[in-house]
A and B are shown apart, each in its own frame.
Chain A
């Protein structure tokens, strides 16, 4: 048995580990983003104070942004590479296709991932750069015009039913992606067995639902007229 040299190209498991570790990073971000967003229901002052606090800590926010950007790029690059290799390795598959166990979420990972990518781009243009779907409006904070009135911006943005529907559908697909990914990343890192598989699968599905309901509550409550 020769000693394998350190190959510069990542192996299949190496690429999977990149998917899992960057996935873990993105799951952590989603949790943080969700907990921040839920301040929306505490009122304009709480949400705007949180947004202002974030922008006053430029080092923190830029470190997070750069880390997330690199994480997303690595996640997508590894995902595309793995998917293309998998298509080639299957070479068409059987004439009669049967699925015994694979979940819907697991079978649609590349597609839900692509939709989520499109959603992220739109979401950044929408609320971070404020360049689309806001009708050119700006939302200066009354008490400190240097900062954005995030609460007012959200209410204005989600008053458009088409935009809200796009957000809710995209969040459903993100949740479907997470319903497989959150359990799968433990398996890829070798941190799962048959005893823990069922529990982690339930955790992943629960996490998907929490993400969907938590984020969708904002556009849904604005569309329903509960918050103005």
Chain B
């Protein structure tokens, strides 16, 4: 495992060659090469991209479009495949938390968007991740009584259950799992959401309907199928494990069996 190199006491600067993806929606894209000098090793990867864009603007060229928001690793907006690795070479961090001290002076860095059919490129490094929103809309919620807030401890939840649910809830929905998967599968994301909600008592009323609906939407949106290779876990910036996929499979197959044998209701009068 690569470790974030904090041992540099003093900042040094890097001169880099960048191969960055340029694409307009609906048109074929290509890599553009740019040289960038004087990048501080303390800069984050996104700050380095900012430097590149400022240089492009100064030179009268068009800057690269890329997604970013909180820049502290919790919003899930940044989405760059760096040298073939979603979120770059340092495991367990998002692109915004990746620092330039993890690269060498003179290195050529290839930056491209998430690659998956379900994530079409909007522009340059930005992709359309609304496929995830559709999956959430189909079942990633709970139904609660509206009105005054209930007493916080009214629903007892076992510690191990709440821990496991919170581990799954760490998923920030960035899409690195899809981008790293050799099959473009979203099973780690869907597994995290289903595990989070299906473990907790608040998620029980919709438990079976949730998992059936979310898997159906996942398939409809055009994500691939899981082949249990584990690339998603190895690239997830939040350390979500394949446990959630196992949980998703278990809940889904159980719900299908229950739906198959569920009661069809009362006997109809005069019918069979």
Contacts and interface: CB of A to CB of B under 8 A. Distances in A.
Interface stretch (B51-59, B98-106, B154-162, B211-219): B211-219
Interface in A82-123: 82, 85-86, 88-103, 106-107, 109
Contact of A90 (B182, B210, B259): B182
23 contacts: A1-B138, A1-B206, A11-B252, A16-B226, A16-B249, A82-B227, A89-B118, A89-B184, A89-B224, A93-B182, A94-B112, A98-B83, A100-B91, A102-B182, A102-B229, A180-B228, A184-B227, A187-B245, A187-B249, A188-B226, A189-B249, A190-B251, A194-B241
Interface in B73-91: 81, 83-85, 91
A90 B116 contact: yes
B177 interface: no
B95 interface: no
Given A101-B234, A194-B241, A94 B84 contact: yes
A191 B256 CA distance: 16
A97 B225 contact: no
B245 to A, nearest CB: 7
A93 B115 contact: yes
Contacts of B179: 94
Contacts of B91: 100
Contact of A4 (B110, B118, B209, B218): B209
Contacts of B84: 94-98
Given A6-B259, A93-B115, A192-B246, 19 more contacts: A3-B209, A12-B224, A12-B225, A13-B253, A14-B256, A16-B225, A86-B182, A86-B183, A86-B184, A86-B225, A89-B224, A90-B183, A99-B182, A100-B231, A102-B182, A188-B228, A191-B246, A192-B242, A194-B243
The 3 A-B pairs at the shortest CB distance, nearest first, are namely A190-B250, A89-B224, A98-B84
A83 B110 CA distance: 28
Contacts of A85: 224-225
Given A3-B209, A190-B247, A91 B215 contact: no
Interface in A12-43: 12-17
A97 B231 CA distance: 12
Contacts of B206: 1
**Max chain B CB contacts within 10 Å: which of A95, A106, A180?**
A95
Contact of A11 (B219, B235, B247): B219
Contacts of B138: 1
Chain A interface size range: 35 or more
A91 B115 CA distance: 7
Interface of B: 31, 81, 83-85, 91, 110, 112, 115-118, 138-139, 141, 179-185, 206, 209-210, 212-213, 215-216, 218-219, 222-231, 233-235, 241-243, 245-253, 256, 259-260
Given A1-B206, A100-B235, A12 B219 contact: yes
B88 to A, nearest CB: 10
A8 interface: no
A61 B31 CA distance: 60
Nearest to A20: B249
A101 B230 contact: yes
A144 interface: no
Contact of B242 (A6, A89, A197): A197
Contacts of A101: 229-231, 233-234
A86 B224 CA distance: 5
A90 B253 contact: no
Nearest to A82: B225
Contacts of B226: 12, 16, 188
B248 to A, nearest CB: 8
Contacts of A143: none
Contacts of A102: 182, 229-231
